[in-house]
Amino acid sequence: MGNSGFGKLHNREPFVAGKFYPGNEIALKKQVRDLFAQTGNKPGNQLPRAIISPHAGYVFSGRVAASAFNQIPENTVYERVFVLASSHQYLFGGAAVFISGNYKTPLGKIKVDTQLGRELIESDEIFRDYDEAHKNEHSLEVQLPFLQIKLKNDFLLVPIILGTNNRADAEKIAQALAPYFTHENLFVVSTDFSHYPDYENAIENDLETANAICSNNPKKLLKVLEENKQKKISHLATSLCGWTSVLTLLYLTQNKNLEYKKIEYQNSGDAEIYGDKDRVVGYWAIAVYEKEIPFVVSEVEQKELLQKARTAIVRFLEDGKRGAFEPMLSGGILEQKNGVFVSVYVNSELRGCIGNFAKDETLNDLVQRMAVSAACDYRFENLHPEELDDLELEISVLSPLKKIRSIDEIELGKHGIYIKKGMNSGTFLPQVAKKTGWNLEEFLGRCSRDKAGLGWEGWRNAELFTYEAFIFRG
């Protein structure tokens, strides 16, 4: 069903500008910014991996859509944004990827990743080149002005219209897109919820559907959609008009360390004008995040790490040589490759602090090596054997480094920062921000200048990573 033939490029012009949203740049920019300002749902520190957003006219669903896109922290940079929207115009197998040019709105041109689109079409028959599916389809188009305002047009778009009404197709599409479901990319899924029940039935029905989505279980969603149909709710035409797009997302996220969060709900009966409550359409904003797993070191592991570090220092002070590493006893985190910092105190006075990020050493070996290094830290007076009775150690076990896309992901006091550019790098432990009272700009600027040697503003074009530290003493 191809019709562009990878030939001459032409842009996809806006179809519902002036209908679903303002048709000129100034008015559209003002409306989208006003909608962002109206929503009470502010972004947190986490980057969403995906969002579910409605696709009705902005007078009806604009606030809920703004709540979905407002989960993206300011200054976030995504490499690509995949928009999945189910077709209202055509029924066809699989999905149509637009590769004929770029997408346009009154806010300007959005660059389409036509190369990736071609690769998808050529590598998997579930995708096809079918411009007609995109030409008059509103469900994808209405998402774009929110992206343009929020991400300042600094992203590549992968626009996908699903024409299928088949569960198996959704699973195949998810399998093909799975390599791209990464931290660097954002997935936007376009769907409205119930169509045409009365106001109260919509609220109840839409909550059940949203809860099924948030279970992160495709079978659960399909079951609830069927149960909603069996209820024979008056005038209910569908519980989820973009169900194949949502199902595709669930196939992408199932069995992963991800969680769905409901952000905001309204239906068309809540609109200030045209707010008919007898026949409504429902709208949910939902975001998908990585689950935050507490980073902990058990009491048994703490005790063993402190003992290993102390023994390594004692042996070094006895003969001036680094001894062989003691084997691990408890296993657990000691056999993992976590970074660690060891600080040495004598009578509460700091006498050394050395650490390293994990490379090829287990934590069991690295803590022993860092302990000896901290005991002879050149910046302080070296330890003496007679000081061992007054020795206290502080160990900071580091979680794996996480590359961040926005400094809004940094939570002072919780996250350490690692800045890297070329051969230059530097870090501050999480506790530095607590002890100094620095704000985020100072935390980044001082690490960039004093630790990485990149200057105060050097962090802006360097790689940024965060990590957590589990700290204990003994």
Burial of 217 per CB tally in 10 Å (0-12, 13-18, 19+): middle
CA triple 378-384-389, angle to 5 deg: 125
Q: What is d(CA 409, CA 43) in angstroms, rounded to the nearest whole number?
A: 10
Q: What is d(CA 395, CA 449) in angstroms, rounded to the nearest whole number?
A: 26
> Do 308 and 72 form a contact (C-beta atoms < 8 A)?
no
CATH 3.30.700.20 is held by the domain 299-398: yes
Tokens describing residue 26:
């100034």
CATH 3.30.700.20 domain locations along the chain: 299-398
Q: Looking at the predicted structure, is the pLDDT value of residue 4 above 50?
A: no
Q: What is d(CA 305, CA 302) in angstroms, rounded to the nearest whole number?
A: 5
> Do 41 and 264 form a contact (C-beta atoms < 8 A)?
yes
CATH 3.30.1490.150 domain locations along the chain: 402-473
Tokens describing residue 79:
């490499």
First to last CA, the chain: 70
Q: What local confidence, expressed as pLDDT, does residue 320 receive?
A: 80
Say if pTM beats, i.e. exceeds, 0.85.
no
* Average pLDDT of span 2-27: 84
Tokens describing residue 362:
């287990």
Domain 25-290 is classified in which CATH homologous superfamily?
A: LigB-like (3.40.830.10)
Q: What is d(CA 28, CA 146) in angstroms, rounded to the nearest whole number?
A: 10
pLDDT tens, position by position, 386-416 = 999 999 999 999 998 888 888 988 999 999 9
Residue 7 pLDDT level (bands cut at 50, 70, 90): low
pLDDT tens, position by position, 88-110 = 999 999 999 999 999 999 999 99
Tell me which residue has tokens 């195949």: 172
Distances in Å between the Cα of 203 and the Cα atoms of 139, 143, 282, 338, 353 are 22, 23, 7, 47, 57
Question: Considering the chain, what is the average pLDDT of its residues?
Answer: 93
Handedness of CA 19, 50, 430, 461 (dihedral sign): negative
Tokens describing residue 420:
């890297």
Q: What is d(CA 157, CA 134) in angstroms, rounded to the nearest whole number?
A: 14
Q: What local confidence, expressed as pLDDT, does residue 217 receive?
A: 98
- Give me the architecture of the 402-473 domain, per CATH: 2-Layer Sandwich (3.30)
Residue 329 pLDDT level (bands cut at 50, 70, 90): confident
What percent of the chain lies above the pLDDT cut of 70? 97
CATH 3.40.830.10 domain locations along the chain: 25-290
Burial of 203 per CB tally in 10 Å (0-12, 13-18, 19+): middle
